[in-house]
Amino acid sequence: MILDKVNSPNDVKQLSIDELNDLAQEIRELIIKKVNTTGGHMGPNLGIVDATIAMHYVFNSPKDKIIYDVAHQCYTHKILTGRKDGFINEKDYYKYTGFTAPSESEHDLFQIGHTSTSISLACGVAKARDLKGEHHNVIALIGDGSLSGGEALEGLDNAATLDSNFIIIVNDNDMSIAENHGGLYSNLKLLRETEGQAENNFFKAWGLDYIFLKDGNNIEKLIKTFEKIKDINHPIVVHIVTQKGKGLKQAEDNKEAFHWILPGALDAQPATNTSVETYTSITSDFIRNKAKQDSDFIVVNAGTPGVFGFNSTIRAELGKQYTDVGIAEEHAIAYCSALAKSGAKPVFTVMSSFVQRTYDQMLQDWCLNKSPMTMLVYWGGISGADATHLCTFDMSLISNIPNMVYLAPTTKEEHLAMLNWAVEQKEYPVAIRVPNVNLISTGIEDKTDYSKINKFKVTQKGIKVALIGLGNFFGLAQEVAKKISETLNFEPTIINPRYISGIDKELLESLKGDHSLVITLEDGILSGGFGEKISRFYGNSGIKVLNYGADKEFTDIVPVKELYSRYRLTPTQILEDIKNLLA
Amino acid sequence: MILDKVNSPNDVKQLSIDELNDLAQEIRELIIKKVNTTGGHMGPNLGIVDATIAMHYVFNSPKDKIIYDVAHQCYTHKILTGRKDGFINEKDYYKYTGFTAPSESEHDLFQIGHTSTSISLACGVAKARDLKGEHHNVIALIGDGSLSGGEALEGLDNAATLDSNFIIIVNDNDMSIAENHGGLYSNLKLLRETEGQAENNFFKAWGLDYIFLKDGNNIEKLIKTFEKIKDINHPIVVHIVTQKGKGLKQAEDNKEAFHWILPGALDAQPATNTSVETYTSITSDFIRNKAKQDSDFIVVNAGTPGVFGFNSTIRAELGKQYTDVGIAEEHAIAYCSALAKSGAKPVFTVMSSFVQRTYDQMLQDWCLNKSPMTMLVYWGGISGADATHLCTFDMSLISNIPNMVYLAPTTKEEHLAMLNWAVEQKEYPVAIRVPNVNLISTGIEDKTDYSKINKFKVTQKGIKVALIGLGNFFGLAQEVAKKISETLNFEPTIINPRYISGIDKELLESLKGDHSLVITLEDGILSGGFGEKISRFYGNSGIKVLNYGADKEFTDIVPVKELYSRYRLTPTQILEDIKNLLA
């Protein structure tokens, strides 16, 4: 194996073109085997193998600084920078994260997992170099899908003002996670078709120098191109065309499905078990039905339709009642707010981690204008995810915005009732945290009038202790209640608050009579979250309050079980705390 | 007066070109007189008088929808749409807000005061029209300064995908608030110089149709241009060149100073009273000195240098140690984070209201990476501002981000010590809320080691009641203490917490001994803020806690005094609450 000889970028520089090509082949095999075992980003990594090898052949990392966008395409980079063990040895498969990590290597500059950051970060790296009078190359590697994000575009605008070495490699594979959308992609297409010669050039229009390479999977040509622009004294865009999923037929043929795969995707038969209902599937069904019934209804997402189950069949079916704005969450909120203000019924679907990109738009474009749009927040909750993709911040972020009604359903029926209310009402900005647990169905239609804002629901009337279980954690409240009943011989009160963004003062006041302790349970950070509002409410009273949820911290691939134990989120721990306090 | 005949856009359509020109002159006089009396946006409004008249002559508002960016250039629009009384009669000067307001008129679609929103909002308005099968023009009016914001750029990308009527009027006056920065402005310059004929065309590169008009203050030509593109069946950019401040010599000559003016700016002698120290002036002095001493130091802002006292002299003096990224807060955070990670010492200065545009960059690009950059947040606190420019959300937004150290100084010496510590340390992401009160100086150097995170300072050790006065509200804590001492005959404890983003558990624990009530005072929304964290801490104890701060609401030009009274923030009200609780 060529790879046996490669332990650092320096070793790459000693290889012949033939050996580099063999190296690429070996790396592809490792990536395919590992990703099929562990799950992860398949297509993006296979597409960029050759360019990564060429970069390390031409540039001198870590002296030269390579900044990866999203960083989900860094596997080859990791293999070439001393971390191949994590791709060769099955036992080491989990040794390194799936994103760049400065804690792992001096070749990784930033821990990043959201898109569209590389150009701005690289601008700062270049400016620091210039302030210090140092000399080295600064390279941002960004995929076409990431280019549409506001941060990347702000970065392009500022990159053009640098008057020193700055290299932006645009990895153009004509795909975001799903197909690309937006005017800039028409231009990339035009540039591909004209081999970079078209008069209208998106990058030159910003004042950036520009060079085009159509064979972005040809190591020899990549090397020649990179050598040409190495040590350049001004900003330049290197537009390379690559094939997403290159070297794996399934991934080449089905780029969207193989962008990120679950373990065993290559072995598995096509999933046929569509009979199991999930909160995602019932939401998708609701959306399809609503679209059929009401031509004013429209569903919008920002570049991740697969997360919401919007496959190409459903997208085609929705037609003009579907908009994928590309990676552009800020635009999505403003767009939907205006749709709602103009009498349409927009639903914006977004992952908890990515809603973070749009606070000001939620506050100003949407909630200040009281537009009755609906936002569905997916995947919210404590998880074993990478630090870059935690979904614990959304409640703290969203629920403190004035006018916002943020809902947390606990059953299928509640979710559908809230969803329908949100879409049809004309008074409130509404967000719904789609439950991130197994679906629970009561079988009984929920006829609640959700326009009675902040009305909590008592599901069990008891004494002494009141358990307020929010959304995903309503089940935990029930479990704790059971334990109390079994061991302390009384029935506590159980409350489903339903509203994350406000409190039911009347109900909380009424608890004072025969309760001495109120417990809040929320699946997100406590800091700025739901429980603290309950603590504030009872601050002037004799009622004691315990808030359970996540600490304010970045966790990085820590198993959920360990996190629950750390945060004292197991029924046993909570019972223990209750006993201590009642004693 | 021509204006006597104009009560709605329909009346504008009846006038001859000569009359329209006279109307423009009359409107300019009204704007100059009113803005010089009330303060407000002078330059932007004077520059766009003619184009606004032409828009209302050609298009049929409110059937045709005009969406204003920032909306601080809407005065002529207000005058022409039934609100001229607010500009003619001195007694009515405060009848209408300085931004578009749907509550005032059907001609105003959104309440907006932040930049870069118009294109995205207009996309939603256009899409709703198309869903409903309606037919009318949708027009976004955006200034060149606003174009660099990520939301505007995401909007341009998506606008290009619309296949129906969509008009973006780019009001190019070659100025943001200060001079423009970034690659796109080089292109606008090129387009101005070539009268729109240059090969590199920023707008065409997105796939947008394009038309250029150099005489953007010539009503006749504006009308001809607008008539040409009225009812167009696809997206088009109309690039008009206007003169900021047109018709007022001082504003034409000094565009930055006359962007927004205080009352009486035209009458006043140049301000000479520079001897009064403010937190802004001492911060600016610190920055200038630090830059001289340390070539690694750099100060960054996003298009509003005047707010921080960075006039053109200071900007020139700072040289390459100064970056204005233009309106691009997302980029600014990533840029500074990378500067800090690369060994430079960046300080990013930003207004509280605009820091809202960058939550994900603070969380991911900055705090996840623990970059030791410094952010200075100005103008934070409860104010009588427009709903679009409230500065009450920053603490709730920033302080719940992991790793962030958010500081609230209370004196000159504390502020300078924190500032110096933040810039020199290498461990923490640090934000400082620059006090928004009159400067207080102790005259004694603060030698605190701020790396002892979350260490509160007891400034008066007392009994029964502990008053925790955060930042701007430390003085309020002292006032309340005085009232307690005078009327209840004991000395309460006074605490300066200094850290917004964490609590001093040891100190709070120690208060339990001889205190029964803890009061928190913060100059921002309570929801998700500082006080709730104290309430959470004491939830399991017998200590009572009262949190004082702003409600979670949008207030719109409500006098501070009224807000303080509403939120029970006067010493008398707080004393009353304490008496009730201690009774």
| d(C-alpha B245, C-alpha B258), whole Å | 7
Q: Which part of chain A has CATH 3.40.50.920? A: 457-582
Mutation pick from A330, A396, A515 vs chain B, by most beta carbons of B within 10 Å, is A330
Chain-chain contact of B364 with A540 (C-beta, under 8 angstroms): no
Cross-chain Cβ contact A199/B199 below 8 Å: yes
**Which residue in B121, B135, B518, B522 has the most chain A C-beta atoms within 10 A of its own C-beta, making it the best mutation to test that interface?**
B121
Query: Does residue A272 register a pLDDT over 60?
Result: no
Q: What mean pLDDT comes out for the span A439-448? A: 97
The CATH number of A279-433, from 3.40.50.970, 3.10.180.10, 3.90.1570.30, 1.10.1200.10, is 3.40.50.970
* pLDDT reported for residue B53: 98
Helix, strand or coil, per DSSP, at residue A381: strand
- CB-nearest to B117 from A120, A334, A396 is A334
CA of A577 vs chain B CAs: smallest distance (Å): 10
Q: What's the burial of B117, exposed, middle or buried (CB within 10 Å: 0-12/13-18/19+)?
A: buried
Residue B120 carries which side chain, given as an amino acid letter?
Answer: S
Among A29-33, A38-42, A525-529, the range scoring the smallest mean pLDDT is A38-42
Lowest mean pLDDT among A251-260, A513-522, B64-73: A251-260
Query: Is CATH 3.40.50.300 correct for B457-582?
Result: no
pLDDT in tens, A462-477: 999 999 999 999 999 9
The pLDDT, as a whole number, for residue A274 is 61
Write out chain A residues lying below 8 Å of B208, CB-based: 183
If you average pLDDT over residues A327-344, what whole number do you get?
Answer: 98
DSSP string over A297-327 = EEEEESS-GGGGT--HHHHHHHGGGEEE--S
Whether A184 sits inside 8 A of B296 (CB atoms) is no
Q: How many CB atoms lie within 10 A of CB B486?
A: 9
Mean pLDDT of chain A: 96
Residue among B186, B401, B539 minimizing CB distance to A160 = B186
Pick from A298, A365, A388: CB nearest B117: A365
CA distance A417 to chain B (A): 25
| Whether B360 and A363 lie within 8 Å, measured CB to CB | no
Query: A292: Cβ–Cβ under 8 A, 6 or more apart, which residues?
Result: none
Give tens-digit pLDDT for A197-208. 999 999 999 999
- Token code pair at residue B185: 């402005």
B474 and B500 in contact (C-beta within 8 Å)?
no
In this model, does residue A341 exceed pLDDT 70?
A: yes
Q: Where in chain A is the domain with CATH 3.40.50.970?
A: 2-261, 279-433
Based on DSSP, count helices (H) and strands (E) in chain A, helices before strands.
24, 18
CA distance B71 to chain A (A): 12
Q: Which residues of B touch A360 (CB under 8 A)?
A: 114, 354, 356-358
Chain B CB contacts of A151 below 8 Å:
150, 330-331, 334, 361
pLDDT (tens, 9 = 90+) of chain B, 583 residues, equals 999 999 999 999 999 999 999 999 999 999 999 999 999 999 999 999 999 999 999 999 999 999 999 989 999 999 999 999 999 999 999 999 999 999 999 999 999 999 999 999 999 999 999 999 999 999 999 999 999 999 999 999 999 999 999 999 999 988 766 677 789 999 999 999 999 999 999 999 999 999 999 999 999 999 999 999 999 999 999 999 999 999 999 999 988 889 888 999 998 765 555 679 999 999 999 999 999 999 999 999 999 999 999 999 999 999 999 999 999 999 999 999 999 999 999 999 999 999 999 999 999 999 999 999 999 999 999 999 999 999 999 999 999 999 999 999 999 999 999 999 999 999 999 999 999 999 999 999 999 999 999 999 999 999 999 999 999 999 999 999 999 999 999 999 999 999 999 999 999 999 999 999 999 999 999 999 999 999 999 999 999 999 999 999 999 999 999 999 999 999 999 999 999 999 8
Report the pLDDT value the prediction gives residue A487, as an integer from 0 to 100: 97
- CB neighbour list of residue A216: distance below 8 Å, 6 or more residues apart: A50, A51, A171, A172, A222, A240, A241, A242, A243
Q: Distance between CA atoms of A580 and A263, rounded to whole angstroms?
A: 44
One-letter amino acid of A433: R
Which tens digit of pLDDT belongs to each residue from A485-497?
999 999 999 999 9
Domain at B2-261: CATH architecture: 3-Layer(aba) Sandwich (3.40)
ipTM above 0.95, yes or no: yes
**Residue A40 has which token pair?**
């992860």
